[in-house]
Structure 1
Amino acid sequence: MNPITGADRTDARILWDFSVLKQPVRPCSAALALGGCDIGVAAAAAALHRSRMFPVVVFSGGIMPGTRGRFPRGEAVHFRERAVALGVPEEVALLEPHATNTGENISFGRKVLTGDGRTVHSVLLISMPYMQRRAYATCRKQWPEVDPVCASQPVSFDEYAEEQDDEAEFIAMMMGDTHRVMEYPRRGFAIEQEVPEHVRDAFERLRKRGYDTWLLPD
């Protein structure tokens, strides 16, 4: 991988702006915090709980090859512990430690939330910022009865990029999410969403520059 250029960041910012939905956050029946490589999801969940945006939250995510070194006991376990340390009461912080992808985050999390008879009309999906559109599309497919609202830590692309240990890997992971938004509808994993031409163009330019390690295989 060559050094990151200004053109790389310009195109990556286009993908970021496409992926971050900027939906108005409102109180929901429950929340679902999706696992990943960014424990900032836990901080977002804690802040949203303080704002009374949900009465109960499920932390979902298993032990994954890409995050095992950082979260050896599983993403959900570490995220939940962090959220509790930040003030989320243990009794409202539920655990789903088996999901290995976004579809399982939704379907397994749904079972935890509804398994005790709880009625869920709306769900607050808490994720990494650039995962919002993918989470929304997956939830609409896997759990069509609920009204999903997406939320993350309030951070800009530049702020988020500066926080990363490996900015090139961050861009490559964002490419992976964008690719799944484009490809998963035809595989039945998510609803179809319009992907503007300028987003597709930015995606292709980044692909040609080598940001392809998290893309789906051909």
Structure 2
Amino acid sequence: MISAEAYEDARLLWDYHRMHHAPRVSSVVIGLGSHDLGVADVAAHLYHQGLAPVLVFTGATSPTTRMRMPRGEAVHYRERALELGVPDEAILVEPRATNTGENIEFSRQVLADAGVAVSSVLLVSKPYEERRSYAMMRKLWPTVDVISASTHMKLHEYVETIGDASMVIDMIVGALQRVLVFPGRNLAIPQDVPQEVVEAYERLARQGFTSRLMPVAEKT
């Protein structure tokens, strides 16, 4: 049972992770692989709004997604987008990436190989990955304009769709650690993190929401 105090701390982190960017016309939508098919839903919605002519879905599998998406995250995302009416010719699949750095690097190569000129990206992620993904894109692909996007949900609504509050909070805590650590590893631009957010993160870690925290030696 998750305490009301822990849930409030998670909400603070959730709100911080959201970038609140307004989507606008871009060269491409890139959907970052994960366990959450909502990423594909948002990407398809942006396509149908006419905000980009092509989608890239990127991601292999991870311990979290191996059972849920046995054919690979990008492949399952593509299948979902096709179900939602996105034409096959508008979708590129990048099936090898196993972390966000590779998502960015390999998607960039897939687009180059396809002859797609990219000056701007609508970057779709899980809601609590918006800020980290944005910071990494700004560092690793600095020549493009980046807009973060995700499903519009409050924390409690998102937990209901996933069905596992502890896993979601673990993920939120892990995402915050990466916002703090990755600039020092030359993987992301620095972000201003309010002290109240840092304190909430530390309280959640002390309470055991740590399954997504990186070991000190891990770099991706």
Q: Shorter-normalised TM-score: what interval?
A: over 0.9
Query: Following superposition of structure 1 onto structure 2, how do residues 140-179 of structure 1 map, counting pairs within 5 Å?
Result: 140-179=138-177
- SS of corresponding position for 2:44: helix
Counterpart among 129, 143, 155 of residue 131 in structure 1: 129
- What is the deviation of 1:174? 1.0
> Which residue in the other structure is 1:50 paired with?
48
> Which residue in the other structure is 1:120 paired with?
118
> Which residue in the other structure is 2:109 paired with?
111
Query: Following superposition of structure 1 onto structure 2, how do residues 79-90 of structure 1 map, counting pairs within 5 Å?
Result: 79-90=77-88
TM-score of the superposed pair, with normalisation by structure 1: 0.97
> Which residue in the other structure is 2:4 paired with?
6
Q: Which amino acid aligns with 1:174?
A: I
Structure 1 stretches of at least 4 aligned residues deviating more than 6 Å after TM superposition? none
116-125 or 50-59: bigger deviation? 116-125
The answer on 1:18 being equivalent to 2:11 is no
- What is the deviation of 1:143? 0.4
> Which residue in the other structure is 1:70 paired with?
68
Name the CA distance, whole Å, in 1 between partners of 2:132 and 2:121. 15
The answer on 1:39 being equivalent to 2:37 is yes
Deviations 1:61-108 (A, max 9, x none): 002222100000100000111011101110011100000000111110
Name the CA distance, whole Å, in 1 between partners of 2:17 and 2:80. 25
Q: Which amino acid aligns with 2:160?
A: E
Counterpart among 22, 26, 29 of residue 28 in structure 1: 26
- SS of corresponding position for 2:50: coil
> Which residue in the other structure is 1:97 paired with?
95
Q: Which amino acid aligns with 2:103?
A: N
Q: Which amino acid aligns with 2:64?
A: G
Name the CA distance, whole Å, in 1 between partners of 2:132 and 2:111. 21
Percent of aligned pairs with the same amino acid: 48
Q: Which amino acid aligns with 1:104?
A: E
Name the CA distance, whole Å, in 1 between partners of 2:50 and 2:155. 27
88-97 or 159-168: bigger deviation? 159-168
Q: Which amino acid aligns with 1:128?
A: K
- SS of corresponding position for 1:136: helix
Name the CA distance, whole Å, in 2 between partners of 1:12 and 1:114. 39
- SS of corresponding position for 2:31: strand
CA RMSD, Structure 1 to Structure 2 (Å): 0.9
Q: When the two structures are aligned, how many residues end up with a matched partner?
A: 216
Name the CA distance, whole Å, in 2 between partners of 1:123 and 1:147. 6
What are structure 2's unaligned runs of at least 5 residues? none
Deviations 1:34-55 (A, max 9, x none): 0011011111111111111110
Deviations 1:159-180 (A, max 9, x none): 1122222111110011111101
- SS of corresponding position for 2:148: strand
Name the CA distance, whole Å, in 2 between partners of 1:13 and 1:154. 14
- What is the deviation of 1:117? 2.8
- What is the deviation of 1:118? 2.1
Name the CA distance, whole Å, in 2 between partners of 1:142 and 1:131. 16
> Which residue in the other structure is 1:214 paired with?
212
> Which residue in the other structure is 1:199 paired with?
197
- What is the deviation of 1:138? 0.7
